[in-house]
Amino acid sequence: MEEAVAGCVALLRTATGQDWDGPDWDGPDWEKAKAGRLEWSCRYTAEHIAGDLIAYAGQLAGRAQHAYVPFDIAFDDGTDNSGVLDVIGTTGALLAAAVRTTPREVRAFHPYPFRSANREGFAAMGTAEVLLHTHDIAEGLGLTYQPAPEISEFVLGRIFPHIRPAADHWRTLLWATGRGDLPGRAPVTDWRWHNNLVHATDRLTLQGLTPAAAGDLVAGGDGGFEWIEGGPYEGTREAATFLLKAYASGVHRPEFGVFALVRREDGRAVGGMGFHGTPDEEGRTEVGYDLAEAARGQGYATEALRALSEWALARDDVHTVFATIERDNLASQAVVTRAGFRKVSEDEVEGEFAYELGR
C-alpha cells in the first residue's frame, strides 16, 4: 500500500501546475478536467483518495463494528494541488500504521459484501482506491501510469477472488473495475470487491481463505495464520490447491470456498473446512474438513461443521449438504453424526460412506 501511495504522489507531483478542476466546474467546460471515465474532476478524485484512506484507517483504529465512523476529512481553504498530495501521503501513512498495529483477528465494518474486513482487507481496499483513482486522474491529465505488477496482484488475490486473473494483473484489475478491456471478456459495467467471509461459533471463527492465502499454503507457507503444532494438516493444503485451480479458471466462489478454523481464545488456527464447489442443480454441495492432530477430540470439527452447514442450508440455492468418509475413519463419522448428518449410502468399491444433512 505504501508503494502505491508513493507512486501516486510521485506521478501527480509532476502535474500540480495543471488545472485539476477545469475552467468552469459547474458549466459545460468541466469535462476538461474530468478524471478518466468518472463523473468527477481530477481534483475531487484526488481528495476522494485521501478521504478513503483516512476512513479506512479510522475503521481499523476505532474497531468499528456496525457502520462507518461518522467523520470526514476537510481541506483548508486555498489548499493547492501540491497540498492535496501532501494529504494523500499523510493519510496513506496513517492507514499503513493502522494496518501494521492491528492484530490479525480484528475485523472492522465494511459493507461489501459480508459487512467486515480484516487488516489485510483494508490494506487491499486502500491500495485499490489509490491505484484505480491515480489511473483516473492520470487519464484526465494526460499522464502515463503503470504501477508495479505485484501491487495489482496483491489487490486481486485478496479482494477480487471471483475474477479469473490474466497474465497482466494491472490490465485485469482495470477490466474488473470497468476501466479497460481484456481479450475474450465482456466489458464490466457493475462491480464490487469481495472481502473474505467469516463465520463465528462459540470457540472458533471460520475465516475464508483468499487466493493469496491459498497460494501461500500450497507453496508450503502458513497462509497468514498462526497454527498450532502440526498444522496446517495435509488436507488443508490440498483443499487450497483446489481453491487455486478454481480461481485460475474463474469459477471460484469465495462463500463456497475453504475456511481456516481459528480458535477465538488465542487466534491460532487448528484446521480447515470447506466446500468442494458450488451447489449443483439439485442444490447439493459437498463439505470436507481436517484438523491438526493436537486439536482433535475437542469438538472443534463438530462445532464448525454445524455452523457451516446451518449457513449453507439457510440459502435458497442449497438443499442438501453431504460428506463422503472412509469406512475406517470412525472419528470423522462421529463428527458428521454429532452434527446431525445421517448415513445414506455405502460404496463397497471405494470403501466410503456417504452422509447427508438436509433442510
Output the tens digit of pLDDT for each of the chain's 359 residues: 999 999 999 999 999 999 998 644 455 555 668 999 999 999 999 999 999 999 999 999 999 999 999 999 999 999 999 999 999 999 999 999 999 999 999 999 999 899 999 999 999 999 999 999 999 999 999 999 999 999 999 999 999 999 999 999 999 999 999 999 999 999 999 999 999 999 999 999 999 999 999 999 999 999 999 999 998 999 999 999 999 999 999 999 999 999 999 999 999 999 999 999 999 999 999 999 999 999 999 999 999 999 999 999 999 999 999 999 999 999 999 999 999 999 999 987 678 999 999 98
Around 321, how many Cα atoms within 13 Å sit in the side-chain half-sphere?
24
Query: What is the number of other CB atoms lying within 10 angstroms of the CB of residue 278?
Result: 15
Q: Which residues neighbour 345 within 8 Å (Cβ) at sequence distance 6 or greater? A: 353, 354
Unique residue bearing C-alpha cell 481453491: 243
Which pTM value belongs to this model? Answer: 0.94
* Residues 235 and 288 sit within 8 Å (Cβ to Cβ): yes
Q: Compute the distance between CA of residue 196 and CA of residue 192 in angstroms, rounded to an integer.
A: 13
pLDDT for position 24: 46
* Residues 200 and 310 sit within 8 Å (Cβ to Cβ): no
The region that residue 142 occupies, defined by phi over 0 for left and psi between -120 and 50 for alpha, beta otherwise, is left
Cα-trace Rg, the chain: 23
Q: Compute the distance between CA of residue 266 and CA of residue 286 in angstroms, rounded to an integer.
A: 30
Q: Strand 226-227 vs strand 352-358: parallel, antiparallel, or unpaired?
A: unpaired
Q: Which of 53, 57, 34, 210 is nearest to 128 (CA)?
A: 53
The SS3 call for residue 327 is coil
In which residue ranges of the chain is CATH 3.40.630.30 found?
A: 198-358
Which of the listed CATH numbers 3.40.630.30, 3.40.50.2300, 3.40.120.10, 1.10.3720.10 matches domain 198-358?
3.40.630.30
Q: Which grid cell is 245? A: 485451480
pLDDT for position 28: 52
Q: Which of 199, 319, 300 is nearest to 258 (CA)?
A: 199
The region that residue 13 occupies, defined by phi over 0 for left and psi between -120 and 50 for alpha, beta otherwise, is alpha
CATH 3.90.1200.10 applies to domain 2-176: no
pLDDT for position 32: 64
* Residues 165 and 248 sit within 8 Å (Cβ to Cβ): yes
In which residue ranges of the chain is CATH 1.20.120.450 found?
A: 2-176
Q: Which of 319, 329, 227, 317 is nearest to 288 (CA)?
A: 329
pLDDT for position 21: 87
CA of residue 255 relative to chain centroid, distance: 11
Q: Compute the distance between CA of residue 142 and CA of residue 69 in angstroms, rounded to an integer.
A: 36
Q: Which of 45, 71, 48 is nearest to 58 (CA)?
A: 71
Q: Compute the distance between CA of residue 288 and CA of residue 306 in angstroms, rounded to an integer.
A: 13
pLDDT for position 351: 84
Q: Compute the distance between CA of residue 197 and CA of residue 210 in angstroms, rounded to an integer.
A: 9
